[in-house]
Amino acid sequence: MAHPVIAVDAMGSDHGPAVVVRGAAEASRTTGAHIRLVGDPTAIARVLDAVSHDPDRISIEPAAGTIPMDADPQAALKAAPDASLPTAARLASQQGGADALVTAGHTGAAILACAAAFRRLPGVRRTALAAVIPTEQRHGPKQDPFALLLDAGATVRVESDDLVSFALMGAAYARVVSANPVPKVALLSNGTEPLKGTPEGVEAHRRLVHAKGIDFIGNIEGVDIPRGTADVIVTDGFTGNITLKMLEGISETVLDLARAAHRSRLTWRLGLWLLQGGIRRLKEVTDWKQYGGAPILGFDRLCIKAHGRSNPTAIRNAIRVAERCVAQQLTERISESLSQTRGMEPAG
């Protein structure tokens, strides 16, 4: 297969194009992908001229403007149809344009731009944002210290069909990213019994028991997420987004408390010195920058949504994730998984 082409929204970031372009420059020297930077050519070229990069693996695609992080996504896309994000999405939808999209821009706008430019896969009603969650237990043959949570905010209200699709898409992504041949999939609920949870969750549970290609372990509770009981955790976007933000806040608070304790008393400093290896490990596994970004699953083209606060390392890693998913034909594998399961659930 030819080297993947990745369209990168160069203007979409809390920090502007400098961080995104530097991350893309690093990726041009460390990956096999060709990177098409979409945005203001002058601003992009100014950064590229100042950093080391492989000019044979980077090109610039002009676009006019950007989508502000605090804007109403629908109104902003309508007002600026040629901004960097929608232009990059259209590029990724074209044959010979790009194979995937990477953006650190507005999440809502990214989902809408993809919905306008891409097609949903057969059997997918709603798309899902798949986020990584650091866990105590390792996952897959690569011993990855994280599980996958979806939906993390793309679809607030779901039907049982959506939860089933999320489970199958998440399992396919885990097989690609973690090389996990049969990932353990669970529904997030308020109890482990099959009849616990919302009516949509109960119906999804009934159907997932019979799904092919996954190891459905039933319901799990919130306490099981950081333990790593499941490789893939499925829920609606409202619950998933709150869960993700809460776990991010807990890890940051633990590190802040450790820093405060270090400044307070000598005995605490000595204790923290003894624990420094564990604290360093906590910081490593909760550092979202090393994971690159979260894929938006359900479209016929891939979008990796990087964090708005991404540094160059996070952008580089997001491009790496996109490259790997394209090379391993993630969207085709998701489509195959959905088609194999369609019609296999027992009648209600």
Helices (H) and strands (E) in the chain, counts: 13, 12
Distance CA 18, CA 12 (A): 10
- Transcribe 231-253 into DSSP letters: SEEE--HHHHHHHHHHHHHHHHH
**pTM of the shown model:** 0.84
Residue 213 tokens, joined: 């290609």
Percentages helix, strand, coil for the chain (3-state, rounded to 5) are 50, 20, 35
Per-residue pLDDT 10s for the chain (348 aa) are: 578 999 999 998 888 899 999 999 999 999 999 999 999 999 999 999 999 999 999 999 999 999 998 899 999 999 999 999 999 999 999 888 999 999 999 999 999 999 999 999 998 999 999 988 888 788 788 787 788 999 998 888 999 999 999 999 999 988 888 888 889 999 999 999 999 999 999 999 999 998 877 899 999 999 898 888 999 999 999 999 898 887 776 656 555 555 555 455 555 555 544 555 544 554 444 444 455 688 999 999 999 999 888 899 999 999 999 999 999 899 998 888 888 765 545 444
Residue 311 tokens, joined: 């540094």
Distance CA 60, CA 40 (A): 9
